[in-house]
Amino acid sequence: MVILSLGKRGNERKEGNNNNNNNGRQLGKYELGRTLGEGNFGKVKFARDTLSGHPFAVKILDKNKITSLNVSDQIKREIATLKLLKHPNVVRLHEVLASKTKIYMVLEYVTGGELFDKIASKGKLCETEGRKLFQQLIDGVSYCHNKGVFHRDLKLENVLVDDKGNIKITDFGLSALPQHFRGDGLLHTTCGSPNYVAPEILANRGYSGATSDAWSCGVILYVILTGYLPFDDRNLAVLYQKILKGDVQIPKWLSAGAQNMIKKILDPNPETRITMAAIKEDPWFKHGYAPANPEDEEEDIYIDNEAFSMNEVQVDAEQRSPQSPTLINAFQLIGMSSCLDLSGFFEKEDVSERKIRFTSNLSAKDLVERIEDIVTKMEFQVQKKNGRLKVIQENKTHKTLGSLSAAAEVFEISPSLYVVELRKCYGDASIYRQLCKKLSNDLGVPPRQALVSSEMN
């Protein structure tokens, strides 16, 4: 099992097509070269300081795109955050330049690409190499925390590897600073990437930036050592249910120390989850550990004031209305009102397969009652046991033809969203198809949304 099933976004750090070089273009003292990658707001180009000869990566952001998507606060946040951070395992910001239409972030050039690509191409790493990368990750993240910066989107794609095999944490666009905490001392904006998000973020009751970042580090460690994700499902709603339960299967072939470390970090209870300080004291972690030396001396990072003259009122993401379409993400979508159409997040499957799931905004109690009423009218017998409904229809003349046994179970994803799982035990596929269609239609779920994430057993 590998992580290639992950949705891979556009790579802003990998070297791109050299046919699109535009060599010779000047930006102050920098000569811009080939395009390294493209993102939502512009391009990343290779650049060289014409005075020193040092290489850099220049992120070129289009002001019109930033303004139209209302994400200028996100760009400002990333720049403000990177100004604070000077650590060997964090990508360095050198300066910010601007024109009337563009913002230019001059960043440290990291040659080795993303950790995602390293794992995707080579598979899991040996424990010694994996532990070294994890030590550097924890070093960098804990340094950020000590500076009051919480990343909130730690994942393999946001960890770069240089030519010496050392990691560099990047992409602080979703990071939080002390001013983003509410009066309860917690963060409340739901953000991150689905497979890496901590369960307390999904619970939507406020969370600590430190403990949620620790969880994401645990997911990264798991992937580094195993080659696949601890929580994964093609059905986004079911993926969140797995994360909320925190029931991770840790391979027995990992060393006892590695198993124990993963178990302590991927604790679904943030109150008992291991802290960054405790991780650093763990015997498995400390093996061969050489702490990095952050460069905390003051450095004058030049930022052109023109970079933020966008002629618009800036609204911080923590204070923005959750209905704002520019900030709606998978986690906010999953907890929205009954008018929500989740069809775009689910894959449709043939319902003749053994297991299907669909979503509903009815309460668990109403769902069970409605399911029981529907199947009874279809002349199924109903048995209740351990919170499940078992429905049976027997053809007494032909045991296989026209007979069906299926089980239904309801899972709560959020107070306003439930997943109904139907599982065929045995019987006629055509009758099972009819049952699935009837339940999905009568429970108010659009047919194109209902039949999702089948699994053959």
Could you give the residue numbers annotated as active site?
153
Q: Please, which residues have CB within 8 angstroms of residue 67's CB and are 6 or more apart in sequence?
A: 310, 311, 312
Beta pairing, strands 93-98 & 302-303: parallel
- Say if CB 55 and CB 109 are below 8 A apart: yes
* CB hemisphere CA count around 425 (13 angstroms): 12
Rounded CA-CA distance 428/436 in Å is: 13
CA distances from 8 to 18, 109, 201 (A): 21, 22, 22
As given in the structure block, the two tokens for residue 364 are 């668990």
Question: Is there a contact between 69 and 88 (Cβ–Cβ < 8 Å)?
Answer: no
The span from the first CA to the last CA of the chain, in angstroms, equals 17
Amino acid at 207: Y
Rounded to 5 degrees, φ, ψ at 103 are -115, 135
Q: Is 59 annotated as a binding residue?
A: yes
At 388, which helix (H) or strand (E)? strand 388-393
Backbone angles phi, psi at 76, to 5 degrees: -60, -40
**Secondary structure of 218-283 in HEC code, one letter for each residue:** HHHHHHHHHCCCCCCCCCHHHHHHHHHHCCCCCCCCCCHHHHHHHHHHCCCCCCCCCCHHHHHHCH
> Which amino acid type is present at position 119?
I
Sequence ranges of the binding site for ATP: 59
Sequence ranges of the binding site: 59
